[in-house]
Amino acid sequence: MLKLNLGCGPHLPNGWVNVDYALGAWIAKLPVFSTINKIFKIINLNWSDKIYLHDLRRKFPWEDNSVDVVYSSHTLEHLSKSDGRHFLRECYRVLKPNGIIRIVVPDLRAIINKYTQGKIAADEVVDEIGVSYDSPEDGVLKQKLAPFIRFPHKCMYDTPTLQRIMSEIGFEAASKHAFESEIDDVGVIEQPERAGEAVIIEGRKISTSTYKPVNLVQDCISS
């Protein structure tokens, strides 16, 4: 069984291929830099040297129809709108027919609701949405390195939006609660603090023989 945990961060469940591209994950594979980092504490080194390094904005290194399950938590929102669509299309390509995808992201609607209900002030909205590199508690070096070691959010989602996008790509997609899943070992990969208030969409790749993903450009050319 091939199961991918895309954008794993420091959470590496057993039985999953844990994929990330953070500088810390690179450095963890280089013993010399790892030692220097331990002395100067440049990067938070919770990172394991077991992480499979891949930039999720690029074509995935797995074959078509070769993967059983894709799980990705709090990562899609770190990709731009177009990179995010590409990422989901790559998930579709590598999944086997009937393969499962589960995407967990922060809920923009919940954040906006907190603001309109007066639970957070206007100047806290940007922090909540997570779009800023700004972290005043960081030292000068960390601030300079921010574009390489911080991953601000580049796109936000709510339940209907993510469900629609995944359906358009070709998944049979439904909204789920935390730990409500067809993934047998969801309990080892899902983190309660990540899934609690989040948007969770789980989908299944509909067999390519019965479903043709929407391709608006092609439809326009041929009509």
Binding site for ligand SAM (CB under 6 A): 7-9, 11, 20-22, 55-57, 73-75, 78, 151, 191, 194
Amino acid at 76: L
- Minimum CB separation from ligand SAM for residue 4, in Å? 12
- Minimum CB separation from ligand SAM for residue 36, in Å? 20
Give me the residue whose beta carbon is nearest to ligand SAM: 9
Amino acid at 166: M
CB closer to ligand SAM out of 138 and 167: 138
Backbone angles phi, psi at 97, to 5 degrees: -55, 135
CB closer to ligand SAM out of 10 and 167: 10
Q: Does residue 157 sit in helix, strand or coil? A: strand
C-alpha dihedral (54, 60, 62, 63), degrees to nearest 10: -170
- Minimum CB separation from ligand SAM for residue 189, in Å? 9
Rg of the chain, C-alpha, whole Å: 19
DSSP state of 71: E
CB closer to ligand SAM out of 84 and 203: 84
Do the Cβ atoms of 5 and 13 come closer than 8 Å? yes
CB closer to ligand SAM out of 43 and 166: 43
Do the Cβ atoms of 87 and 57 come closer than 8 Å? yes
- Minimum CB separation from ligand SAM for residue 38, in Å? 20
